[in-house]
Structure 1
Amino acid sequence: MKIKKVECLAVHPGWRKNLIFVRVETDDGIVGWGEAYSQYDRDRAIVAQVEALGQYLVGRQARNIRHFLQIAFDDYAQRRSSLEYWCALSGIEQALWDIAGKAVEQPVYNLLGGTCREKIRVYANGWSYKMQQPADFARAAEQVVRSGFTAIKFDPLPRPWRTYIPKEHIRHAVKVVSAVRSAVGDDVDLLLDIHRRLAPAHAITLSNALAEFDPYWFEEPCQVENLDALAEVRAASPIPVVSGEAMYGRADFRRLFRERAVDIINPDISNCGGILEMLFIAAAAESEMVAVSPHNYNSTTLSLSATVHAAACMPNFIITEYFLPYEEFGSVVTNNPLLPVNGYIDLPKGPGLGLDVNEKVVRSRPSKRYPARTFRMSEDDQPLPL
């Protein structure tokens, strides 16, 4: 069973960024699907990486996943990491596992040693996009909880994202979290995303100010490139600290664990290296008594399914991400989407990743070319020249 064709299909889901699907076909007609992580303005570079890397997969045995991953790093990347490389590798790797499962008519999780759980807890994200006022956050949070979610994630800080912030930004965040907690009650988990933006002093002040609302976690308070800063926050924070979505491969996470910088990691299956790499990272975390909550700012289809299969096999998994604005697209592009019920997703039972992808719909939703954005030093400043 050899690889015949590798194709990258960038699609627009109808909200925010483009999504990047990877289609891999074997010489006996099996088609595997995967998904690479994407960002504004970088999606074309990631597509180029998928196409460049994919040509080295053609003619190889589809089942030799670990071998391809190693030569991709050693010979193609020449042991140099980048976001674009890891995204491309992740999408291709997922598609290979989809093929492996379909070839033997088994779900991927059965090929990985079997499951630790029969359903996967998810938290809702994307519901508070561009909201500013505490009352707006509160009303939207109530609606999400009424739909069945028991955990919700949001960023309480006002824009723009900057390292050093005034005290009024801290006060604003407190008002937002207070309003949401009052709206949803004490039994709903509140996950706070800080998006890597703060200096340690501000992050610690913010964490202490928000602790009274009993948040589930404090995500990415500082840039992960400065592990000393992140560890400083973790040591002082009364809220569990999360990081890892901007790290790629198990070697990156080794540094994170050695510094004792986090309580929970959130690697993304579509940019950390794929399903197998995610499990290697999770196993390393388990030995350090660190929990795993996979990041998933991707579709509610391929990336989510790959995450669910990996999470089913992790003893230290706790919860994963579900982006509500992509739900409608997921229900169109697959005939059997993964839909949460009361905050959980049941494991898919079909072979491979378990999704029936509607290829015609995928090809009918081409990606968008986004216009150049306006960047400002602050909300009151004039736009910076491009």
Structure 2
Amino acid sequence: MKISSIKCYTVDPGFRSRTWIFVKVSTDAGIHGWGEAYTLRGRDQAIVAQIGELGTACLDRSPFNIKHFTQVVQDDFAQRRNSFELYCAQSAIEQAMWDIVGKACGQPVYNLLGGKCRESVRVYANGWSDHCRTPDEYAKAAAAVVEKGFTAIKLSPLPGSWRTYVPREHEHHVVSVIRAVRDAVGPNVDILLDMLRRLNAGSASRLGRQLEPFDLYWYEEPCLAENVDALAEVRGKVGIPIVTGETLYGKAAFQPVLNARAADILNPDICNVGGILELKEIGAMAEPHYVAISPHNFNSTTVALNATVHAAAVMPNFTLTEYYLPFAEFANRICPTQLIPENGFIKLPDGPGLGLDLDESLLQQHAGFAGIAPALVSPAVER
């Protein structure tokens, strides 16, 4: 069985000016697989173009040779010159290859990765507070999402532009919001605070110490992940678990974080870290360091979520993963079989491959922008 074509769909979900990018990889045996790439406003067309170029590295190859494919991408195609767009493209194609392999074997992907460690995957709700501004608005929205059954919620209440040095009143606002949310949801709901890489180590440490009384589940990305020393400084001064990793691509980028003991939890994203196998290998790297894995998933609640669930199923040090609540309604149109949380957990799918399919007619109906040619040529030469 060989990969015969790649088709890329860009989809406008009508939310947050964001485009979803799906990749369909087909084979000469009539089996196809789906993958999803991470996207950012202003860079999605570059990601689509990279998917098109990357097709030269996988056409006419066996979809079973996934590890070899990722090696060829990094060593030969990119000549070890990495980029965000490259990792997004690799991630999407790699997921689709796993989907094909699972279908060909008649097994869910997690069975091919070593077997499941759990029957369900815990999720945290995100996106529920996107339109909140005041502490009272955050509190009411938090209570409403907990009423839906979620036992963990994430928010990013730091106001203003993304600047390294912020006014003290912005820090005070964050404390006021967290206090209101904790009062609204009670002591048994996990609150996850995301700082979006916005602060310097001093401000992050000062704010973190003020937040300690509210028993936060984590303090996500107080500083840039690339500044490992700053992260380690914050971790040493704040008694809240530190999270980082969504902006790191490939497992080598996580080694300095682990060596410096700069984080308690890593949150790589399956749609930009390199794919399912790369995420699993990062989990294995983190395990002997006693570092947990909580995959980031600011993607659709279709392909990306399924791929994340399969990877999470096989990692002993997995904790919970992201579920972006506002995306679910539109996602149900293109994928009525999408995974749905129940009481804060998603049951593992038991179908072959990733366990879902997308409606291509609806993908075309909701196209985001002109994508790549449906069939790529120039097959790669096997090594």
Preserved contact between residue 271 and residue 304 of structure 2 (Cα < 8 Å): yes
Shift of 1:303: 0.5
Shift of 1:368: 5.5
Letter matched to residue 250 of structure 2: G
Are 1:160 and 2:168 counterparts? Answer: no
Output the CA distance in 1 between the equivalents of 2:89 and 2:288: 29
Shift of 1:363: 1.8
Identity within the alignment, %: 56
Shift of 1:224: 1.2
Aligned to 2:9, the other structure's residue is in SS state strand
Aligned residue for 1:382? none
Deviations 1:5-58 (A, max 9, x none): 011111111212101101100011111000000011111111111111013211
Letter matched to residue 193 of structure 1: D
Letter matched to residue 236 of structure 1: K
Specify every segment of 5 or more residues in structure 2 that has no aligned partner in the other structure, as ranges: 371-383
Aligned residue for 1:18? 19
Shift of 1:176: 0.5
Aligned to 2:110, the other structure's residue is in SS state helix
- Indicate the larger mover: 341-350 or 48-57: 48-57
Shift of 1:170: 1.1
Preserved contact between residue 34 and residue 357 of structure 2 (Cα < 8 Å): no
Deviations 1:189-214 (A, max 9, x none): 00000000000010001101111111
1:241-252 equivalence runs, <5 A: 241-252=242-253
Preserved contact between residue 225 and residue 245 of structure 2 (Cα < 8 Å): yes
Aligned residue for 2:233? 232
Aligned residue for 1:205? 206
Q: Give TM-score, length-normalised by structure 2.
A: 0.95
Output the CA distance in 2 between the equivalents of 1:196 and 1:258: 20
Output the CA distance in 1 between the equivalents of 2:240 and 2:63: 44
Shift of 1:293: 0.2
1:37-76 equivalence runs, <5 A: 37-76=38-77
Aligned residue for 1:84? 85
Aligned residue for 2:2? 2
Shift of 1:274: 0.3
Deviations 1:305-329 (A, max 9, x none): 0000000000000000000011012
Letter matched to residue 54 of structure 1: G
Aligned residue for 1:219? 220
Deviations 1:84-106 (A, max 9, x none): 00000000000000000011111
Output the CA distance in 2 between the equivalents of 1:345 and 1:13: 23
Preserved contact between residue 339 and residue 346 of structure 2 (Cα < 8 Å): yes
Aligned residue for 1:375? none
Letter matched to residue 8 of structure 1: C
Task: Work out the number of aligned pairs and report it.
Answer: 369
Aligned residue for 1:174? 175
Structure 1 pair 130/160, CA: closer, same or farther in 2 (3 Å)?
Answer: farther
Aligned residue for 2:98? 97
Aligned to 2:191, the other structure's residue is in SS state strand
Aligned to 1:55, the other structure's residue is in SS state helix
Aligned residue for 2:125? 124
Q: Give TM-score, length-normalised by structure 1.
A: 0.94
Question: Per chain length, whose mean CA-contact separation is higher, i.e. which structure has more relative contact order (CA < 8 Å, sep 6+)?
Answer: 2
Letter matched to residue 64 of structure 1: N
Aligned residue for 2:137? 136
Aligned to 1:99, the other structure's residue is in SS state helix
Preserved contact between residue 6 and residue 55 of structure 1 (Cα < 8 Å): no
Moved over 3 A (4+): none
- Indicate the larger mover: 124-133 or 343-352: 124-133
Letter matched to residue 244 of structure 2: S
Output the CA distance in 1 between the equivalents of 2:168 and 2:265: 28
Output the CA distance in 1 between the equivalents of 2:79 and 2:345: 41
Aligned residue for 1:297? 298
Aligned residue for 1:145? 146
Output the CA distance in 2 between the equivalents of 1:368 and 1:296: 23
Deviations 1:82-133 (A, max 9, x none): 1000000000000000000011111000111100000000000011113211
Output the CA distance in 2 between the equivalents of 1:318 and 1:366: 35
Letter matched to residue 150 of structure 1: T
